[in-house]
Structure formats: C-alpha cells, structure tokens
Chain A
C-alpha cells in the first residue's frame, strides 16, 4: 500500500504535468492554425460568385466578386482636407430641387477674383472645392450652373458610368452612342445613367484588365500621337499595362471642349498637351467658351488638366502612373491590391510615397508643401495681374474704346486667362510638374503685361520699344 502522502503528491504531479502539457498543446495548436491561415491567405485570390459582363453597370454586383476593391471604392465618399486640396463636408438644408445634405465649400466665395475671371460664365455662379468620385454625378446634376446655362449631354461623359449606355445607344457601336449622348440635352442624358464612374468604366469584365472606354480619349490620344509621327494609334491595342494605369484616369482628368453644334466632347491635343500647345490649338480653331461680361473678350475655360500636367513632370518621366500614388498598393492578407479609395497621396504617404522615397513622412509632406505654396504664390501674382487687366479693359470700354482698339488687349486677356486657369484648375497646385506650372504662370503674366502695353499704346502713352522675347507670339 503506498503511503497516503505519496499518493496525494503523485496526484499533484499528475495535474501539474497535464496542465503544462495542455498549455503547450494549446500554444502549438494555435501556432499551427496561424500558419495554416497564412498559407491559405497565400492561396486565395478572388472567388467568382456572380457572372459579370459588359451589361453589368452596378458596381455592387462587381463588388461581390471583388469585395476588397469595392470597399475602397465606397470610401470615396470621405471628404478630407489637405493644405491645398480636398474639402470639408459642409452641411446644407436639402430642398426639393437639390436634395444634397452635404456639399463642399464654395471656391468663388473664398476667392472673389475667380468670379471676376469667369464673369458672364456659369462657373462664376457655382464652383466648389473638389470631392470624391462618389459625388460626381450628384454634384453635376444639382450644381447651380445647370440653371444658368443649358448644359449638353456631353457633360455626362465624365459624371456617370456611361459605357453601357453608349453601347446601347449606338447598338453596339460605341462611337455612334457617344455622338448620340453628346447631342442630347443634359436632362435627357441624365435619365439614362444611374451610377457615378464604376468598375466597368476602367475594367474589362472578363479579365479585369484595364481598358479605355471613352471615345474622346481614344481620339485625343490618336491626335496627339499623330502630332508625334505615330499614325493610327489605338490606345486599347498599343498602350502598355503601366500606361493604362494613367490612361484610364486621363479619360476624364483632362482639358476638353465641346466641338461644334453637335457638342462633341473633344480633347484639344492635336498640337501636344502642354498648356501653350493647347492654347495654340484653340487659337487656330478660334474656339471660345464665352464672351467675358466685363471686358468683352472671347475667353476660354480650362478644366482640370491633371493628365496633361502630370505628363510634363518627373513622375511621368520615371514611369510612375496616376494609380501608383492615388491608388497605392495595399496588403490585404497575402493579396496586393490597388487601393480603390482614390484620393490624395498626402493622405497615404507611407504607401504612396515611401515605397520609392525613403524619407520620414513629415519630410515628404514638407517637400510637397513647399512645391505647392510656391506655385500658389505665383498663381496669386498672375491672378492679381489678370484681374487688373480685366478692370482696365472694362474702364477703356466704358470710356468708349472701339472693339477694334480693344482687340489686342482682349486677345492678350484670353491668352493670359487660359494659361492661368490651366494651373488654377489643375488639381495638384503645381505638384504634378512644378517647373512647368511656374513656366505656364510666367507665360500668363507675360500675356497680361502685353495686354496692358496695348492698352497703354491706345491711351497714347509711348510704349517703350523692347526686343520681343522669342517665347512670345
């Protein structure tokens, strides 16, 4: 018979060993499960739960196959300010005509010089800070600009998912559908669309590869390439995958105009995509957006030429596409996914910038800020100068100056204004191509100077004769 104390000692030992073994087993099993899970992550890419084709417009349906990308896409409702971009959400009381309860703040109230620059045009009535893709359709539908100018269906090209609509309208012929959509009144075109830009506008539904769906970009690129001696350029056939990561954005983030009575959406790139090359295109065609209410000049409105300006910068030169910074890769499990929450790289410096630039985040933000604040300062100088010129032309006009004598000052205003607006309307405050931005602003200031000289000559003041710089026309 074992001694009772030995028996209880052995029982305690039994319990202790069992407990240690249990803890060890739990630890090892947990590790095993974790390793299993990580291995599964490495295997999983996407699960096809619904079939998608060229008629599937609703991004929610695509999102069932690609939930990570869709989650990011939904986040474009966020309104965040950076120093020179983005916007805060401003609450407003919805009305029957405009049910929006949140808008971005007004730019023209922040800077009344803009109203002066755009006097007589719809942008002098309503122009707001930019916000995410999620708002593009609503903001265009309910802007007060609609009440001032009868907007054409052409506007909808870049404010909605139109690919399927154009295919339907053209009965399978995209270009025909594009023509039909452009010529419609806005209200009629608006009824045909339902979603802001969606998956189908950039992705081919079978392979998910990128594709261009906007005829205006296809034609614009063909014209630009032709000016470089490349005949018959077909963007969907000839562009590389990396080029496509910028081209799909360039379908809308560009300078454009509506050509002729058909209101055909056209990108003015036949001479090139620099601001002065685009201006030369408009000078050749004689196109004007409107007649300036104060000066009577036939003026142009530049529109968000991000793609054009980016093309002049060092990032484009180095092969860095829009998506690399605005949709930086993120790691989700073992997957490397382009972040579909399209936004300012300043809001994701780690993934957007630090992949290449191995400096602290604060240092990188400071670099961006110095570029933007310098551009902004020169932009202010150019705008003050332009506003002065507009005021002087107005004064001369009211004093009875003839259209003939005002032709040259007005021509200079038109040129100065377009060049300034090119940088002003561009959404990077110079970052996409810093030196190019300041070059364009310098050209604008020079045009204003020439306009003032012409006015002075009209007044009989002796304009000093100076050699004309080669840059000027």
Chain B
C-alpha cells in the first residue's frame, strides 16, 4: 500500500487475522496438533489408519525399548524434525484426500530411515554384516520386531 493504514482498515485486518487464528487454533487443538511434537506413539495413531500398526507395536518385542520416532526418524535433531514435518504433511494429505494404497506401504526413503535406525542400537552386533552389500536389509528377515504380525500377516484386527 505504501502508506499508513487507516484505523478502519487496521480493524479489518485484525478481525480477519484474529478469526483465522481462532479457527486455525481450534482446528489445531481439535486435531491434537500438539501431540505431534511429543514422542508418544499414541500421537501416530491419532488417525485411524495407523491403529493396526500401533496395536502391532504394542504387541511387539520392541515396545518397551523403542517408540515410533526411534525407528521411523533419523537420529539428528534436524533430520528428525524434517522427517516428522514432511511425513506428517504427506500423511495428512493422503488421509484427508483418501488417496493411499490399502494395505498401506512404506516409501523407500522411510524404509531406509528404519534400516538405519536398527543400527542405532544394533550396530556392534551387525558390524560384520552391513556395509558389504547395499542390499543388506534388517527388516526383510525381521519384519515383525517392530509390529507383531499375527499368523495372517495382518496386524491383529481391531474389529471385533
């Protein structure tokens, strides 16, 4: 505008931005937006698509030693929050628009993060195995350590 706003226009801007902030704030709280800044696995199951994966984790061998973030985000602070932000955005977009494969599938970039995450704790144990071959995969042979699969392969049904 290049000039000082009149007091009437300032009032309009204040009202508009206040309404947006209020509406946005309510939506944020209603959607439990704050929970995404925590390390609590329940936050990841805010959306019901993740319910079975959450329940699978509850029954897995890693439940008392690793949370979602331990296996699904990198170790560095920036890497962790970048992954949280980008995955969060893509997950929200997919869930809101209802466009995603069923059964849901992990993307290669996220699979790589998880493979690396195994080494956070098990690097000493597998030092002789990894590094020789890019194709070496932990979860290919240990698919159920993070999410217990029932005999069906599907995480145990949440349905009655």
Binding site for B on A (CB under 8 A): 2, 6, 9-10, 13-14, 17-18, 20-21, 24-25, 28-29, 31-32, 34-36, 38, 41-42, 45, 208, 242, 318-321, 324, 329-331, 334-337, 350-351, 354-356
Once the chains bind, are A335 and B159 in contact (CB under 8 Å)? yes
Interface string of B3-27 (1 = CB under 8 A from A): 1011011001101110110011011
Told that A31-B96, A335-B159 touch, could you supply 6 new A-B pairs with CB distance under 8 A? Answer: A6-B3, A9-B1, A10-B9, A32-B30, A318-B151, A331-B102
Once the chains bind, are A18 and B16 in contact (CB under 8 Å)? yes
22 CB < 8 A contacts A-B: A9-B1, A10-B6, A13-B9, A17-B9, A17-B13, A21-B20, A31-B27, A32-B26, A32-B30, A35-B27, A38-B47, A45-B159, A208-B160, A242-B152, A319-B151, A321-B152, A329-B157, A331-B102, A351-B102, A355-B153, A355-B154, A356-B153
Once the chains bind, are B27 and A28 in contact (CB under 8 Å)? yes
Once the chains bind, are B6 and A25 in contact (CB under 8 Å)? no
* From B13, B23, B48, B149, contact of A42 by CB (8 A): B48
Interface string of B31-60 (1 = CB under 8 A from A): 100000000000000011101100000000
Once the chains bind, are B27 and A17 in contact (CB under 8 Å)? no
B48: which A residues are within 8 A, CB to CB?
38, 41-42, 334
* From A9, A14, A24, A25, contact of B12 by CB (8 A): A14
Q: Quick one: closest B residue to A335, CB to CB?
A: B159
* From A34, A41, A319, A350, contact of B103 by CB (8 A): A350
A334: which B residues are within 8 A, CB to CB?
48-49, 51
A335: which B residues are within 8 A, CB to CB?
159
A6: which B residues are within 8 A, CB to CB?
3, 6
Once the chains bind, are B1 and A13 in contact (CB under 8 Å)? yes
Q: What is the minimal beta-carbon distance from B145 to any residue of chain A, in angstroms?
A: 16
Given A28-B20, A31-B27, A337-B159, A14-B153 contact (CB < 8 Å): no
Q: What is the minimal beta-carbon distance from A457 to any residue of chain B, in angstroms?
A: 52
Given A10-B8, A25-B20, A350-B101, A38-B151 contact (CB < 8 Å): no
A354: which B residues are within 8 A, CB to CB?
103
Once the chains bind, are B152 and A324 in contact (CB under 8 Å)? yes
B12: which A residues are within 8 A, CB to CB?
13-14, 17-18
Counting CB contacts under 8 A, is B86 at the interface?
no
A319: which B residues are within 8 A, CB to CB?
151-152
Counting CB contacts under 8 A, is B64 at the interface?
no
B49: which A residues are within 8 A, CB to CB?
331, 334
B89: which A residues are within 8 A, CB to CB?
none
Interface string of B69-109 (1 = CB under 8 A from A): 00000000000000000000000000110000111000000
Separation of A14 and B9 alpha carbons in the complex (Å)? 6
Separation of A351 and B20 alpha carbons in the complex (Å)? 42
Separation of A350 and B13 alpha carbons in the complex (Å)? 52
Q: What is the minimal beta-carbon distance from B79 to any residue of chain A, in angstroms?
A: 26
* From A20, A42, A330, contact of B102 by CB (8 A): A330
Once the chains bind, are B23 and A320 in contact (CB under 8 Å)? no
